[in-house]
A and B are shown apart, each in its own frame.
Chain A
Amino acid sequence: MTNGYQEAGHSGDLAPGDEHQEGEGFAQRVLGYLVGLALAILLTATSFFIAGTDLVWQPSIPVALVVLAIAQMGVHLVFFLHITTGSDNTNNVLALAFGVLIVVLLTAGSLWIMANLNHNMMPMDQLMQMQR
């Protein structure tokens, strides 16, 4: 393959979204996307099935949905965005790891603080009484 970025192979890095191109033909690359699509469809269908079923223990459903969503994000990252653990992808993975850290801090921290506040706050009708 003669791509415009073939010289990139010598620098030891890969742009996010680029695939390893060593001897990979058209068919293998399409196959990669097909595998990703199949896995994503499977995980999505499982999510929608679990959300509406009575077959599993009900309190486990939210946890299962979150796990399925994280798995599907991983599938998208690997098969569509080509973020891998290869040495040529280190920079991209590190940036992603930092992003994930901030996202987790932001969402988990907000939920934790707000749940704590709700727990400690006086019920709203009593608060109204005090302000009179």
Chain B
Amino acid sequence: MAGATMAHGDPHHLGGMDEAGAAHSGPAPKRIVTGYGFWIFILSDMIMFAAFFATYAVLLGQTAGGPGGRELFDLRNVAIETGFLLASSFTCGLATIAADMRRTLWFQVAMAVTCVLGLAFLTIEFREFASLVARGAGPTRSAFLSAFFTLVGCHGLHVSAGILWLLTMMAQVFAKGFRADIQRRILCFALFWHALDIIWVAVFTVVYLLGSAT
């Protein structure tokens, strides 16, 4: 179907293969490019977490005579933490919908609830860390505890950064409204927040549930 002139501009006939209408009107819209770039960042972040998970799994038994997961972890606390983070993921989704619909009030309410739930999660995590250190099970006690504090603390740092980003987005929507660039930032923030919840699923399974089983 392609003549000599067409073949010159499209040597592999890619335009002819694509029935979906992508043939071809220049670069993708900025929202897709931005979202995709941020998706790549999230995936590389997950690879970093995978390294910490591998470290934790390798060092799980290396307690140096100190306490192991079974003595240290309070699963009831972890269940409450999980509930808070899961609920915050849900309200973050509601905020995304409100942003798409340009409903400022609903957006701000949903983001505020997300923030409160995230802070509740962080409070419980911080108190758990403080009680572990107070019981002499700080990160210097054993290789197992070093790996534990690195992995869970890294996730906690991500949540803290996410809350700062969340507050920034609330302020930007308040000051600038739902401009296209603000909408892109909200998209990226929602990706980040949901990705943190995915990592937490791995944390409560590998660190707490499997860690206290052995």
Q: How far is the CA of A37 from the CA of B82 in the complex (A)?
A: 12
Is the Cβ of A5 less than 8 Å from the Cβ of B183? yes
Interface of A is mostly: helix
For the complex formed, measure the closest distance between the CB of B184 and the CB atoms of chain A, giving whole angstroms: 8
The count of residues in chain B whose C-beta lies closer than 8 Å to any C-beta of chain A is 61
**B114 touches A (CB below 8 Å):** no
Instruction: Tell me the residues in window 41-62 of chain A with beta carbons closer than 8 Å to chain B beta carbons.
Output: 41, 44, 47-48, 51-52, 61-62
In the complex where A8-B31, A37-B90 touch, is A66 in contact with B197 (Cβ < 8 A)? no
Report the stretch among B117-125, B148-156, B165-173, B198-206 that lies at the interface.
B198-206
For residue B198, which residues in chain A have a CB less than 8 angstroms away from its CB? Answer: 73, 76-77, 81
**B46 touches A (CB below 8 Å):** yes
The count of residues in chain A whose C-beta lies closer than 8 Å to any C-beta of chain B is 57
Contact of B183 among A4, A33, A61 (CB under 8 A): A4
Is the Cβ of B54 less than 8 Å from the Cβ of A76? no
**B174 touches A (CB below 8 Å):** no
Is the Cβ of A66 less than 8 Å from the Cβ of B54? no
For the complex formed, measure the closest distance between the CB of B138 and the CB atoms of chain A, giving whole angstroms: 24
Residues of B within 8 A of A (CB): 18, 20-22, 25, 28-29, 31-32, 34-36, 38-40, 43-44, 46-47, 50-51, 53-55, 57-58, 75, 79, 82-83, 86-87, 89-90, 93-94, 96-97, 100-101, 178-180, 183, 187-188, 190-191, 194-195, 197-198, 201-202, 204-206, 209-210, 212-213
List, sorted by A's number, 24 A–B pairs whose CB atoms are closer than 8 Å. Answer: A5-B31, A7-B29, A15-B31, A17-B190, A17-B191, A26-B101, A37-B87, A40-B86, A44-B86, A44-B201, A44-B204, A51-B75, A51-B209, A69-B205, A72-B201, A73-B198, A73-B201, A92-B39, A95-B43, A98-B43, A99-B44, A99-B47, A102-B47, A109-B54
